[in-house]
């Protein structure tokens, strides 16, 4: 594979390692077994990604379908058959009718919903901006408790049925992981500390916007949850994360309590999870929610446009901190919308979460 002009791909999963770590230590083997195997699988895939990046591999095709001009997606869904070999058996191609496998159909639809938002709202032709074909593998491994973007394609587990259900159920999970690809091809934010938390937050932001766009929800109507419908009925919780109220997505006797902070006063200093990238992402997530609801209307139109301008504008450094990103959003709001309510909403949002603009 290619490193995409220096844009080193990062192995990104939707379920944070701290959640799987907790499950892996549970006394019930029905919970600990799948979690432990999922952690091992993630570690192996992460190592493969590093090796492929260093050694190099076959370049991924990055051309649009003939005659489409990049205005139509080129989706291919594969079935791993509960094995670990990627991509697996091809089961659905672009333009073919839905089959009997709901997981395949959801993956296909989710790839399309993500493509549509980026094209119709932001004028972006697929993940790389040049019509990159969208490939996804479903039914990966047995009881695999995650979904990931590996720098080339999407991969979905079926979950263990006890804690996590099928990972194709929430469209925002699909949008979240594919947005890691957009970040890979644009700002290429380093996956550690605050820049890593921004990387995760941007995936949550656009994952949520893809869900809102699909459902035609205004900022006021949206639930602002990431992964709603993913947790099994036995879990005391509604999603993996909440952008509206970070730290409240779940409070469960097995999973524990959602550790996300909503502001800098509660920033979590940790060496785990690449410096807490899935935890401290709650802070910029909350800022986006505050700005979007203050501006009102459809969040993808103004607040999403401001965030997209920063992500793709070329001024966001790979090691950007929260303050760097916040400053650029203020500048982007002023450049696009002037000194009106949009600018004030963005400034106030960062102030409310305790991030100073430079």
What topology does CATH give the domain 12-185? Elastase; domain 1 (3.10.170)
Which residue, 294, 286, 308, 257, is CA-closest to 352? 286
CA 339 to chain centre: 31
Radius of gyration in angstroms for the set of CA atoms belonging to the chain, rounded to a whole number: 19
- With bands split at pLDDT 50, 70 and 90, how would you rate the model's confidence at 47? confident
Residue 51: pLDDT above 70? Answer: no
Q: What is the pLDDT of residue 350?
A: 98
- Indicate the Cα dihedral angle 218, 219, 221, 227, nearest 10°: 110
Are the C-beta atoms of 41 and 166 separated by less than 8 Å? no
Integer Cα distance of 24 and 273 in angstroms: 15
Q: Which regions of the chain does DSSP assign to beta strands (E)?
A: 12-13, 75-79, 89-93, 134-138, 147-149, 154-156, 225-226, 241-242, 251-252, 256-257
Integer Cα distance of 87 and 221 in angstroms: 37
**Tens-place pLDDT, residues 222-248:** 999 999 999 999 999 999 999 999 999
**Tens-place pLDDT, residues 275-292:** 999 999 999 999 999 999
Domain chopping of the chain, boundaries? 12-185, 193-352
Q: What is the pLDDT of residue 310?
A: 98
- What does the chain come to in residues? 358
Integer Cα distance of 83 and 129 in angstroms: 32
Could you write out the DSSP letters of every residue in 51-74? HHHHH--PPPP--PPTTTTT-S--
Q: Which CATH superfamily is domain 193-352 in?
A: Neutral Protease Domain 2 (1.10.390.10)
Are the C-beta atoms of 163 and 254 separated by less than 8 Å? yes
Q: Which of 152, 278, 286, 342 is catalytic?
A: 278
Q: What is the pLDDT of residue 67?
A: 40
Residue 78: pLDDT above 90? Answer: yes
Count of C-beta atoms within a 10 Å radius of residue 323: 15
Q: What is the pLDDT of residue 69?
A: 57
- With bands split at pLDDT 50, 70 and 90, how would you rate the model's confidence at 65? very low
Residue 45: pLDDT above 90? Answer: no
Which residue, 12, 11, 10, 15, is CA-closest to 241? 15
Pair type for strands 225-226 and 154-156:
unpaired
Residue 63: pLDDT above 60? Answer: no
Is the previous residue joined to 87 through a cis bond, with omega within 30 degrees of 0? yes
Q: Is 177 a catalytic residue?
A: yes
- With bands split at pLDDT 50, 70 and 90, how would you rate the model's confidence at 9? low
Q: What is the pLDDT of residue 4?
A: 38
Q: Which of 177, 180, 200, 286 is catalytic?
A: 177
Integer Cα distance of 66 and 63 in angstroms: 9
Q: What is the pLDDT of residue 339?
A: 95
Q: What is the pLDDT of residue 80?
A: 98
Q: What is the pLDDT of residue 50?
A: 65
pTM of the complete model:
0.94
Give, in degrees to the nearest 5, the angle at Cα 287 between 249 and 272: 55
């Amino acid at each position: 594979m290619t490193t995409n002009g220096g844009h080193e791909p990062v192995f990104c999963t939707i379920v944070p390692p701290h959640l799987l770590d907790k499950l892996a230590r549970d006394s019930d083997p029905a919970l600990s077994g799948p979690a432990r195997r999922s952690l091992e699988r993630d570690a192996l895939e992460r190592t493969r990604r590093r090796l492929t990046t260093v050694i190099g591999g076959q370049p991924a095709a990055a051309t649009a379908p003939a005659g489409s001009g990049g205005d139509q997606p080129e989706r291919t869904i594969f079935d791993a058959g509960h094995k670990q070999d990627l991509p697996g058996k091809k089961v659905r191609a672009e333009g073919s009718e839905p089959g009997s496998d709901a997981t395949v159909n959801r993956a296909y639809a989710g790839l399309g919903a993500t493509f549509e938002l980026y094209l119709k709202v932001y004028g972006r032709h697929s993940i790389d901006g040049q019509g990159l074909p969208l490939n996804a593998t479903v039914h990966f491994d047995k009881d695999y408790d995650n979904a990931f973007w590996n720098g080339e394609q999407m991969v979905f587990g079926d979950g263990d049925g006890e804690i996590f259900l099928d990972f194709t159920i929430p469209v925002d999970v699909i949008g979240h992981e594919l947005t890691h690809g957009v970040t890979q091809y644009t700002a290429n934010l380093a996956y550690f500390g605050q820049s890593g938390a921004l990387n995760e937050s941007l995936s949550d932001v656009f994952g949520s916007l893809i869900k809102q766009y699909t459902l035609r929800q205004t900022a006021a109507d949206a639930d602002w949850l990431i992964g709603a419908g993913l947790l099994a009925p036995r879990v005391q919780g509604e999603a993996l994360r909440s952008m509206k109220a970070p730290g409240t997505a779940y409070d469960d006797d097995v999973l524990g309590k959602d550790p996300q902070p909503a502001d800098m006063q509660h920033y979590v200093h940790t060496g785990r999870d690449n410096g807490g990238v899935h935890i401290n992402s709650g802070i910029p997530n909350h800022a986006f929610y505050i700005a979007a609801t203050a501006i009102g209307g459809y969040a993808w139109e103004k607040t999403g446009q401001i965030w997209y301008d920063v992500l793709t504008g070329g001024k966001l450094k790979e090691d950007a901190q929260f303050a760097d990103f916040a400053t650029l959003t203020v500048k982007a709001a002023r450049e696009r919308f002037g000194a009106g309510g949009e600018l004030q909403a963005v400034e106030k949002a960062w102030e409310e979460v305790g991030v100073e603009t430079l």
